[in-house]
Amino acid sequence: MAMYKELLWIFTQLPDDYIVLDTETTGLPDENGPPDIVTLGITVVRNREIAESVEFKTRPQKHISEEAQRIHGITNEQAAEFESFDAQWNQIAEYLKDRLIVIHNASFDWPIMLDHVARYGLSMPPIQGVFCSQKAAIPWAQAMNLSCSHRGPSLDTLTKVLDVEDLRAKSGGIHGAGIDSRMAARVIDVMIRYGRMDGISTLNNDV
């Protein structure tokens, strides 16, 4: 599995401390703009170990599509009981502040985050930057002949080929922002280690 490790060099440049962010939404972007966030997951990595994982459930202003409900299992009735995004922003912002934010599908999740910040008149804290693990994995995935869209290899594909535990299996295959951020953190750790050729992941399995 360490074939083409040179193509994983970019992962070896990640710092030992960062956060991994993921969202589940009301659907896909359309003529009315970006979808709304329904859940936002953040996994905190410190010294290359998972230190904390949280999930914020946020009440959307837009209707959750049937397809999105099938993906994350949250209905419109359930989401109506969640707190609004802006009411939870101070807590979310504390996790983002001064951090490198790793997002597997950053071209989807990050514009939605910025849209919410602007829509609610909030302020984004200073951050180190955003790293898209999906785009960064494209050269290696293509060399390995993995299934790879224009965005890059999916988290499912990388989880399977890197033999990372599929946490969704414990929830009946349902996607969750918290679950997916933890899975992405584990995938990234394995890719770092393959790039450095220094053995197997040490990220703890349960947080």
Residue 71 falls inside a structural domain = yes
Residue 204 falls inside a structural domain = no
Quote the pLDDT of residue 128: 98
The DSSP 8-state label assigned to residue 1 in this structure reads -
Quote the pLDDT of residue 174: 79
Quote the pLDDT of residue 198: 56
Residue 202 falls inside a structural domain = no
Q: Total domain count for the chain?
A: 1
Residue 29 falls inside a structural domain = yes
The DSSP 8-state label assigned to residue 5 in this structure reads G
Give the domain extent around 108.
5-196
Residue 24 falls inside a structural domain = yes
100-103 and 49-59 strand pairing:
unpaired
Residue 205 falls inside a structural domain = no
Output the domain CATH number for residue 187.
3.30.420.10
Spatial distance between the Cα atoms of 173 and 156, rounded to a whole number of angstroms: 11
Residue type, 97: K
Whether the CA torsion 26, 38, 185, 195 is positive or negative: it is positive
Quote the pLDDT of residue 2: 54
**Gyration radius (Cα) of the chain, Å:** 17
Quote the pLDDT of residue 166: 84
Give the bridge partners for 56, in sequence order: 40
Long-range own/partner contacts, residues 62-71 (CB < 8 A, 24 or more apart): 62/26, 62/27, 62/32, 62/35, 62/36, 63/26, 64/26, 64/27, 64/38, 65/26, 65/27, 65/28, 67/27, 68/24, 68/25, 68/26, 68/27, 68/35, 68/38, 71/24, 71/174, 71/175
Report the 3 state secondary structure along 19-61.
EEEEEEECCCCECCECCCEEEEEEEEEECCEEEEEEEEEEECC
Which stretches in the chain have pLDDT values below 50? 199-202, 204-207
Residue 206 falls inside a structural domain = no
Quote the pLDDT of residue 207: 44
Residue 203 falls inside a structural domain = no
